[in-house]
Amino acid sequence: MQLTAVNKMPTAFSRTNPFQAKVHKNVNLNGTGSSKETRHIELSLNSSGLSYVPGDALGIIPQNDPELVASLLEEMEWDEETPVTINKEGDTLPLKEALTTRFEITLLTKKILQQTVELTENEELRKLLLVENANQLKEYTYGRDLLDMLRDFGPWNASAEKIVSLLRKLTPRLYSIASSIAANPEEVHLTIGAVRYTAHGRERKGVCSVLVAERLQEGDTLPVFIQPNKHFHLPESGDKDIIMVGPGTGIAPFRSFIQERAVTKTTGRSWLFFGDQHAALDFLYQDELEQYQKDGILTRLETAFSRDTEQKVYVQHRMLENSKELFGWLKNGAYFYVCGDKQYMAKDVHNALISVIEKEGTMTREEAEAYLNEMREQGRYQRDVY
C-alpha cells in the first residue's frame, strides 16, 4: 500500500512535502490475550536528509479507513468518481479519493452541524442547535462522526461537493520518536497504541493508529516529516541525572533518551517509571530495558502493573513509595520528565511530585508548588502529554 501526498517539490522534506519512508518492521509489542495492541514501527530515512534529536516527534500524513469511506458513499448513494474541490485553488479529486486522503471524517464539530442545518428539513437537528441545548450538542458530537450525522439528520438536500466543502482538512498525526538516530542511523522508530472502541452502537477506530495496526505492511511506505519539540529534550550536559515517567506508549521518547545516552556514554544517572496493565502481556520493551539496567545505562527501573494486584498500582504510587530517593535526585539537580496521557496520568504524577517535595523537603503545599515551578522555569520539569 502506497500512501500518496501531493508534492509541491520544495527542496527539503517537510509537512507539506513529506518523505515516503519505507517500513522495515511493524510488530505488536503486547502478548497474546492483552486488551491492548501497541505497534513498534521501524521506518527507513535512507536518502531523506532528515534528522532528529531525542524528544522530537514524527508526523504521519494518514488516510481514512476505506470501510468508513465506503459506508459514507453507500449511505448518501454518492458516485465515488464525482469530482470535488479539495482546496482554495480549486483543484479537484474524485470523491472517494478526496474522502480517503484529504478530509477529516471521524470528528464532528459544532460548526459542521451549524453549517449543515440549512441542508436538511430535520427538526431534531434544529432543536439540538438551540442555545439552551448546548450540553446535549456537546454530548452528541463527542464520539460521533460524519456518518452518524448523515444517518441521523437526513434526508439531505445537498450535493457531495457541498457537504465535502464543510469538512476540515485531514491533519497529520504526531508521535513521539522512540529511537535515537545515533543508535539507529537513517532510521526512525515509533511506539503506537491502536485506538479502538465502541460508541453509539458502532466500532470506532483511530485514523492513524489503526491504519498502522491493520493496513500497513513491511515494505509499504508512509508519508512522514520531523516535528521538532523544543520543550522536551535531554539536558545539554550528560552528567545530569534524569527521571522519566512514561507508562504505556509514554515510554516512546524515553527509549530514545536511553538509547542516546547509551551511545554518548554519559555519566548522569537515569531512572525510569513504567506502568501498564499486566506485566506478562504489557511490559513494552521489557528485554531491552532490563538489558540497559544490567549494563548500568538505566540506573533504576520502577514498574507498576495496575491489573496484577487487587489494589490498582500506578506509576504515581511507585513515586510516593520512593519519595526519599526521588527527592534526593531532585535536590541533586535531576531533570524530571513525564510523557503520556494528559487527562489522568499527567495530573496524578504532577500531584504525586508535589507531595514528594512537600514531604521530603518539609515544605508546605504552596512551597512545594513553588519549588516545582522553579524546576519548570529552569527546564528541569518537562512534559510531553496528549
Q: Residue 8 pLDDT > 50, yes or no?
A: no
Query: In the predicted model, what is the mean pLDDT of residues 151-168?
Result: 96
Q: What is the CATH number for 97?
A: 1.20.990.10
Q: Are residues 45 and 80 in the same domain?
A: no
- Per-residue confidence (pLDDT) for residue 10, from 0 to 100: 46
Quick check: is 367 in a domain?
yes
Q: What is the DSSP string of 225-273?
A: EEE--TTS---SSTTS-EEEE--GGGGHHHHHHHHHHHHHT--S-EEEE
What contacts 76, CB < 8 A, 6 or more positions away?
Answer: 150, 156, 160, 163
Domain boundary among 112, 134, 165: 165
pLDDT-above-90 percentage for the chain: 97
Mean pLDDT of 197-209: 95
Lowest average pLDDT, out of 6-10, 103-107, 221-225, 275-279, goes to 6-10
Q: End of a domain among 148, 165, 182?
A: 165
Please report the pLDDT score of residue 2 as a whole number: 56
Judge whether residue 7 has pLDDT over 60. Answer: no
- Contact at 8 Å (CB) between 353 and 380? no
Mean pLDDT, the chain, as a whole number?
Answer: 96
What's the average model confidence in pLDDT over 340-359?
A: 97
Q: Is the dihedral of CA 224, 226, 232, 233 positive or negative?
A: positive
Are 157 and 184 found together in one domain?
A: no
Confidence of residue 9 (pLDDT cuts 50, 70, 90): very low
Please determine, for residue 148, whether its predicted confidence score (pLDDT) is greater than 50.
Answer: yes
| Domain shared by 97 and 199, yes or no | no
pLDDT at 6 over 70: no
Q: Which of 165, 188, 207 is the last residue of a domain?
A: 165
pTM for the whole thing?
A: 0.93
**Claim to verify: residue 186 and residue 38 sit in the same structural domain:** yes
pLDDT at 109 over 80: yes
Is 301 within a domain? yes
Query: Which phi and psi (to 5°) does residue 117 adopt?
Result: -60, -30
Are 289 and 248 contained in the same domain? yes
Judge whether residue 219 has pLDDT over 60: yes
Indicate whether 138 belongs to any domain.
Answer: yes
> According to the model, what pLDDT value does residue 4 have?
52
- Claim to verify: residue 187 and residue 220 sit in the same structural domain: yes
- Residue 20, pLDDT > 50, answer yes
Q: Is residue 95 part of a domain?
A: yes
Report the pLDDT value the prediction gives residue 11, as an integer from 0 to 100.
Answer: 55
Distance CA 305, CA 275 (A): 5
pLDDT of 199 reads 93
- Distance of alpha carbon 20 from alpha carbon 3, whole angstroms: 8
Least confident interval from 9-18, 132-141, 374-383: 9-18
Dihedral (CA of 159, 86, 82, 204) sign: negative
Specify the pLDDT at position 30.
98
At residue 1 the predicted structure's pLDDT band, cuts being 50, 70 and 90, is low
- Both 197 and 323 in a single domain? no
* One domain, residues 222 and 92: no
Residue 218 belongs to domain with CATH number: 2.40.30.10
Shared domain for 147 and 184, answered yes or no, is: no
Q: Is residue 262 part of a domain?
A: yes
Q: Closest Cα partner for 112 from 155, 141, 77, 80? A: 141
CA distances from 35 to 27, 160, 303 (A): 16, 38, 19
**Helix, strand, coil share of the chain (percent; to 5):** 35, 25, 40
The tens digit of pLDDT for each residue in 276-307 reads 999 999 999 999 999 999 999 999 999 999 99
Q: How many domains does the chain have?
A: 3
pLDDT value for 37: 98
Whether residue 110 sits in one domain with residue 159: yes
The per-residue pLDDT for range 303-339, each reduced to its tens digit, is: 999 999 999 999 999 999 999 999 999 999 999 999 9
Q: What pLDDT is attached to residue 174?
A: 98
Give the pLDDT band of residue 195 (cuts 50, 70, 90).
Answer: very high
CA distances from 355 to 18, 35, 39, 232, 359 (A): 44, 32, 35, 23, 6
Q: Is residue 23 part of a domain?
A: yes
- Here the cell at position 232 is 522536551
Say yes or no: 126 and 265 in one domain. Answer: no
Q: Which domain holds residue 134?
A: 66-165
CATH number of the domain that residue 253 is part of:
3.40.50.80
Residues 140 and 222 occupy one common structural domain:
no
pLDDT at residue 3 in the model: 59
Closest CA to 81 of 98, 105, 106, 60: 98
The angle at the Cα of 234, spanning 228 to 235, to the nearest 5 degrees, equals: 125
